[in-house]
Amino acid sequence: MNNPRKIIIDTDPGQDDAVAILLALGSPELEVLGITAVAGNVPLALTQKNCRIICELAGRPDIPVYSGAIRPLVRELVTAENVHGKTGLNGPELSDPTMPLQAQYAVDFIVETFMSEPENTVTLCVLGPLTNIALAMIREPKIIPRIAEIVLMGGGCFEGGNVTPAAEFNIYVDPHAAKTVFNAGVPITMFPLDVTHKALTTRKRVEEFRSMGTNVGIVTAELLDFFERFDEEKYGTDGGPLHDPNVIAWLLKPELYTGRHINVEIETASELTMGMTVADWWGVTDRPKNAFFVRDLDAEGFYNLLVERIGALCP
């Protein structure tokens, strides 16, 4: 196998973030240099703790976890306990982590990593609001041309929003950070609701995790049981959309996805459409193409990959 691809996972767990982290830790093609927590689904004190819970669940207490931004750049923090529960990881019984939180600030870790690793060798996988990434770019703009790629879950176009009619949660929570990142000139691959709403946690798929019989398989099923209940009611589907693991699956099997390289701008002025990703799918403007917008996936292939890799985690 080639050298593993180096990644940093920036995240706000969240059940679907947790499954994304498990997928990364179960995949030898990826080397997770660190996990950086941000405030989002739940406040920072919980997201950083949840990152450590998941590393321990995967049997990887050696992964350094850093705590980052406690709030968005400009706006008040909006959280999503209505989707994820009070802890962010409601569903299974989970013990408090014993592995330490790193003393270094997540934003400093991101800057230091991009300045010390060879140019274009580290990919940023962003599963929450983009606050830490924007802060790192503002703190040290020299990192910008050194970032190989940013792969993120966020936004929506044809599918509308999930927190307001116009906006998806991750972009809505920190639209100013999102604007900074989308305008930075770094190659971006985005997984909007248009694709994640096609990755449904159907009953049959959830049962595949439970039937692994391993602790990690059972916990995954219980996380998805909880996450799914809310979205099933909301969308009237068998299962809810599984968002964040698509970011990691893309790095492993890009052939599962199709999309288009387009211009995406972030709305930060109108309260009504705050955080909307204005996606020029039809190419009706001359604005620069700044993102690969993923719109479709092979959902069976995606779940097969999840089952294979989460099944390979031993604990």
Site for Ca ion in 153-212 (CB under 5 A): none
Looking at the Cβ atoms of 16 and 280, the one nearer to Ca ion is: 16
Phi, psi for residue 278 in degrees, rounded to 5: -85, 100
Q: In whole angstroms, how close is the CB of 284 to ligand BDR at the nearest point? A: 26
203-210 and 299-311 helices, crossing angle to 10° = 10
Question: Do residues 74 and 269 touch, judged by C-beta distance below 8 A?
Answer: no
Residues that bind ligand BDR (CB under 6 A): 14, 16-17, 41, 80, 83, 127-128, 153, 162, 168-170, 243-244
The distance from CA 101 to its chain's CA centroid, rounded to whole angstroms, is 20
Looking at the Cβ atoms of 16 and 222, the one nearer to ligand BDR is: 16
Identified catalytic residue from 84, 176, 243, 261:
243
Candidate ranges 12-20, 27-35, 47-55, 268-276; the one touching Ca ion (CB under 5 A): 12-20
Contact between 129 and Ca ion by CB under 5 A: the answer reads no
The token pair at 126 is 């962003």
CB burial of residue 78 (10 Å; 0-12, 13-18, 19+): middle
Which residue in this structure is represented by tokens 């701008």? 265
- For residue 275, the 8-state DSSP code is T
Q: In whole angstroms, how close is the CB of 283 to ligand BDR at the nearest point? A: 26
Question: Do residues 168 and 275 touch, judged by C-beta distance below 8 A?
Answer: yes
Residue 243 is a catalytic residue: yes
Question: Do residues 299 and 200 touch, judged by C-beta distance below 8 A?
Answer: yes
Question: Do residues 214 and 313 touch, judged by C-beta distance below 8 A?
Answer: yes
Q: In whole angstroms, how close is the CB of 105 to ligand BDR at the nearest point? A: 22
Contact between 68 and Ca ion by CB under 5 A: the answer reads no
> Which of ligand BDR, Ca ion, none has residue 267 at its interface (CB below 5 to 8 Å by kind)?
none
Looking at the Cβ atoms of 49 and 146, the one nearer to Ca ion is: 49
Bridge partners of 292, per DSSP, are 189, 261
Q: How far apart are CA 225 and CA 216, in angstroms?
A: 14
> Which of Ca ion, ligand BDR, none has residue 37 at its interface (CB below 5 to 8 Å by kind)?
none
Binding footprint of Ca ion, residue count (CB under 5 A): 5
Q: In whole angstroms, how close is the CB of 14 to Ca ion at the nearest point? A: 4
- Determine which residue in the list 8, 10, 14, 79 makes contact with Ca ion, applying CB under 5 A: 14
- For residue 100, the 8-state DSSP code is P
Question: Do residues 9 and 127 touch, judged by C-beta distance below 8 A?
Answer: yes
User: Which residue type is seen at 46?
Assistant: L
Question: Do residues 197 and 159 touch, judged by C-beta distance below 8 A?
Answer: yes
The token pair at 158 is 């044809």
Looking at the Cβ atoms of 94 and 146, the one nearer to Ca ion is: 94
Contact between 17 and Ca ion by CB under 5 A: the answer reads yes
Q: In whole angstroms, how close is the CB of 83 to ligand BDR at the nearest point? A: 5
Q: What is the dihedral sign for C-alpha 48, 170, 15, 30? A: negative
> Which of Ca ion, ligand BDR, none has residue 80 at its interface (CB below 5 to 8 Å by kind)?
ligand BDR
- x/- site string to Ca ion, residues 225 to 254, per CB under 5 A? -------------------x----------
Q: In whole angstroms, how close is the CB of 288 to ligand BDR at the nearest point? A: 26
The token pair at 240 is 């809810």
> Which of Ca ion, ligand BDR, none has residue 169 at its interface (CB below 5 to 8 Å by kind)?
ligand BDR
Looking at the Cβ atoms of 143 and 221, the one nearer to ligand BDR is: 221
| Catalytic residue list | 243
Q: Which residues bind Ca ion (CB under 5 A)?
A: 14, 17, 127-128, 244
